[in-house]
A and B are shown apart, each in its own frame.
Chain A
Amino acid sequence: MRPVEQSAVRDEFLWVDSSRCIGCFSCEAACQMEHDLPPGPRPIRVIQVGPLQNGDGLFMEYQPATCRHCTNPACVAACPRGAMQKKGDEIVISDPAICVGCQTCGVACPFGMPQLNPSQGKISKCNGCAERLAHGLSPVCVLACPTEALSFKTPDSHVQEVRGRTASVLRRYSRFK
């Protein structure tokens, strides 16, 4: 048995399974509602890929994209005022008290995640729903996703889920052998 360590780092992380994403934009809408954002900045975005020709058929995928809370964040390095910070629990946030909205972080980020919130003149970015996590709740994008393309869990939970599902599929089809 592995001892449970007291640590500021959570072992849950946001799983994005784009094969389940249907491009419904529930995550975008939920995030905007939760954080009182005006239309414009979308801390989580769904990017449509395609439709592309695939032989005779078409191929289309949806890719949910949000801040990766990188280990070596380019946005933190780029921020001229030190507003963008990586905290002890690994989450990268922008401090609105310091941010001036210059958007250098948006340029530096390889994924273009930080966006300007026009009503405040400051950066809007995924903050990992820190307040919700403090109450033991999941991030709001995960809550809203109708297809479980987004889920918030530990690696062990994920492995258990995949095993369980594979087992039930195998069991079902073995009857027909």
Chain B
Amino acid sequence: MVSHRMADRGFGSRKDHERRVKTICRECMVGCGLVAYLKDGRIVDLHGDRDRPVSRGRLCAKGIAFVQGLRNPGRIVSPGYRKRIGEPFGGPEEWEAALDLCAESLRKIRDQHGPESIVIGSDRDWDLEFAVGAARFARRLGTPHLYLSPGAQSAFAREPRAVPPSREWGKSRCIFFIEADMAVTHTVGFGWALEAQRRGAILVAADARFTRTMSRAHSSLTIRPRSGNLVGLALAKILLEEAPHSSYVQLGRWADEEKRDAFFEGLEWQELEGRIGLDRAGLKKICDLLRENSPVVIVTGRDLSALPHCSIWSSLAAGMGGAGAASGWYPLHPAAPPLDPCLGMEGEPDHPVEDGPPLKEVLASSKAVLCSGNFLGSRTPSHASEDPLVVSFGPFPNATTDLSQLVLPSTLWPEESGLCFSADQEILWGEQILEKGGECRSSLELWAGLARRFGWEKDFPWINGDGAADPAAFAQWLLENSPGTRGCKWEWLRGTGGGATSIFWPFDGGANRLEAADPIPIPARLEAAAGVTVQDDFPLHFQKAPSISRSEESGEWWPGVRDLEPEDGVQIHPETAWALDIETGDEILVTGPVGSLRGRAWLSRMVPRWMVSAPMNSVGERVRIEKPGRPREETLNLLKELLR
């Protein structure tokens, strides 16, 4: 008799604990189940929840290591104020007093310089509560300068479309990753792709840096950074040229076929090849792979959703056909349902910020900036005018808090209950694990507090009768007001953190009937290449290594991982480095059109010869590297010689 005995994947903790919380890990939004054990208000043990279908008890390193960030001595736990940057921070030390100061300062600036002098921004694309609150506050204040991260903006604009849930990928025959390093960003979700591979599916990956996802792929291609959507256009062009009767072309959601044909005929192969970094033959191989191995799941990276021509994936996915849920487009950006954040408010919708002046100019003439995350650090290195008032809201010090006068401490996700949406488009409720400490508050409490001080409570529907912010009220408001979730009740979500219930959006369990999404309009011509045109001075491409943690830069505060990727490490291909006489560890300067940064060289074949990559703030899409002591002309000439 054959023994099938397999050890239980595990449940329970033998560590001394007082209570147990079943919740959802909100580090990356695969939505893994998490069971935490607490004693004396601290987490003593945790593991994955095997009842959650998407994760089946697994938990990646982020889901375990976040605990180290919670009690890190470097964390900001009380507000701080200083008159000038560079001075040490002083009081007020209570949240309410700090908010009084914030509201009073904003009011003064608004009265003196007008509401357009105030900029509100966030670079955290998963903080839906902050984004909604910010949009509503900006509308009441009367400022058009609202800069949300590309992920949040695309969440607000997102159409109510279903994605192929990862646990169905076993039925696909091909999974195509385009500038999506899912093995790093959505680790447990990537386990499903490997499961599909075990069942005979092929994995195809295209990216600039050689990623872990690519190392597992059957077929991988190196493309220029941020050219992912152009690859989609190139694939569509090949299909139109060679297989106009295929389902990819016939079923694509084209608004106007004549315009489509005109657009694609106007696309020059030379330009496409130059911008993607691959020739037509290479792209055709990929195209053939996809056609021969349907059903196909296309996984696109977070940044692609913010770049032009992203809608091509919707068109291609519509023709992917195959066995029901096992094909389609799976974007890796926050899967919040479509929502008008200012629903129910008076006033005109704000003009999209792309039509306005660039952020750098706006910041240079602003008098106040209210932001979360590393908004300033990632957007601009400095201001031109005298220091505006900068108020930043976050859990850890970063480049933005260095530029701030007022710093407000925020909670981390384990310290607040909240609504969340997984990448599979599941609607989930993450139960709070432990109490917040110090003077930390949530995004909802920030906006509720400011709204109360301005008398705008009516416009913030999550403020309850006592004036406090209620996450359940926010959840209920959002669920009712998004066409993707209308009909879903918050009470039903209570079980999702601790059981096998899965509720997906678009939710049509109620009488809610979604209108079929509009066909995608075709642009008249290809978007001009962004970035600097003076490529002689900046011969290398630059890619910022993405932040993978919802606990922001707390990755720096997890001692176990700090050694793995040095925060000032600049990855350079060995051939490029040797041509410039650079060894690993050497101090180098990375210069772009926007500024320059110091770092240490880290030779690695993970980057192609024509690119460098670093977790540091971007100084431009094109850069040069310099070794101190060597004349710039000589370096540039060597680089050009190498890259020819």
Give chain B residues whose Cβ lies under 8 Å from the Cβ of A11.
Answer: 3
Assembly CA distance A169 to B198 (angstroms): 8
Q: Is the CB of B60 within 8 A of A26?
A: yes
Which of B135-143, B210-218, B404-412, B485-493 is found at the contact surface with chain A? Answer: B210-218
Instruction: Assess the B64–A26 pair: CB atoms within 8 A.
Output: yes
- Count of chain B residues with Cβ under 8 Å from any Cβ of A? 52
Q: Is B183 an interface residue (CB 8 A)?
A: yes
| CB within 8 Å for A28 and B61 given contacts A51-B215, A165-B198 | yes
Q: How far is the CA of A88 from the CA of B191 in the complex (A)?
A: 36
**In the complex with contacts A26-B187, A53-B605, A57-B220, A172-B8 CB distance below 8 A:** no
Contact A143/B10 with A58-B210, A156-B3 known, Cβ cut-off 8 Å: yes
Q: Kindly list chain A residues whose C-beta atoms are within 8 Å of the C-beta of B14.
A: 131-132, 135
Set of chain A residues within 8 Å of B285, measured between Cβ atoms: none
Q: Is B73 an interface residue (CB 8 A)?
A: no
What is the CA–CA distance of A156 and B220 in the complex, to the nearest angstrom? 35
In the bound assembly, the distance between CA atoms of A30 and B188 in angstroms comes to 14
How far, in angstroms, from A131 to B58 measured CA to CA in the complex?
Answer: 20
User: Are A137 and B215 in contact, CB atoms less than 8 angstroms apart?
Assistant: no
A44 to chain B, nearest CB (A): 12
B605 near A1 (CB under 8 angstroms)? no
Q: How far is the CA of A159 from the CA of B220 in the complex (A)?
A: 31
Q: B194 contacts A20, CB within 8 Å?
A: yes
Q: Which among A66-74, A79-87, A101-109, A147-155 touches the partner chain?
A: A147-155
Q: Interface code B49-77, partner A: CB below 8 Å = 1, 0 otherwise?
A: 00000010111110111010000000000
Is B48's CB under 8 angstroms from A143's CB? yes
B11 interfacial by beta-carbon distance below 8 Å: yes
Question: Is B416 located at the chain interface by the 8 A CB criterion?
Answer: no
Contacts of A32 in B (CB 8 A): 64, 560
A interface residues, tally (CB under 8 Å): 54
Find out whether the CB atom of A168 lies under 8 angstroms from the CB atom of B605. no
Query: Is A144 interfacial (CB 8 A cutoff)?
Result: yes
Within B344-397, which residues are at the interface with A (CB < 8 Å)?
none
Contact yes or no, A173 B58, CB < 8 A: no
Q: At the interface, yes or no: A160 with Cβ under 8 Å from chain B?
A: yes
Q: How far is the CA of A143 from the CA of B32 in the complex (A)?
A: 13
Whole-angstrom CA separation of A12 from B3 in the bound complex = 10
Distance in angstroms from B187 CB to nearest chain A CB is 5
A52 at the interface (CB under 8 A from B): yes
Bound: A50/B604 CA distance, A: 9
Q: Which chain B residues border A145 with CB–CB below 8 Å? A: 58
Contact in complex: B47, A30 (CB < 8 Å): yes
Complex: how many Å from CA A52 to CA B605? 7
Cα distance A131–B12 in the bound complex, in angstroms: 12
Chain B residues engaging chain A, CB cutoff 8 angstroms = 1-12, 14, 45-48, 55, 57-61, 63-65, 67, 183-184, 187-188, 190-191, 194-195, 198-200, 210, 212-216, 220, 559-561, 564, 604-606
In the complex, 19 of the A-B residue pairs with CB atoms within 8 angstroms, ordered by the A residue number, are: A1-B1, A22-B213, A26-B59, A26-B64, A51-B606, A61-B215, A131-B14, A136-B7, A140-B10, A144-B48, A144-B59, A146-B55, A146-B187, A146-B190, A146-B191, A148-B194, A152-B7, A157-B4, A169-B199
Give the B-binding residues of A (Cβ under 8 A): 1-2, 11-12, 20, 22-26, 28-30, 32-34, 39, 50-53, 57-62, 131-133, 135-138, 140, 142-148, 152-154, 156-157, 159-160, 165, 168-169, 172-173
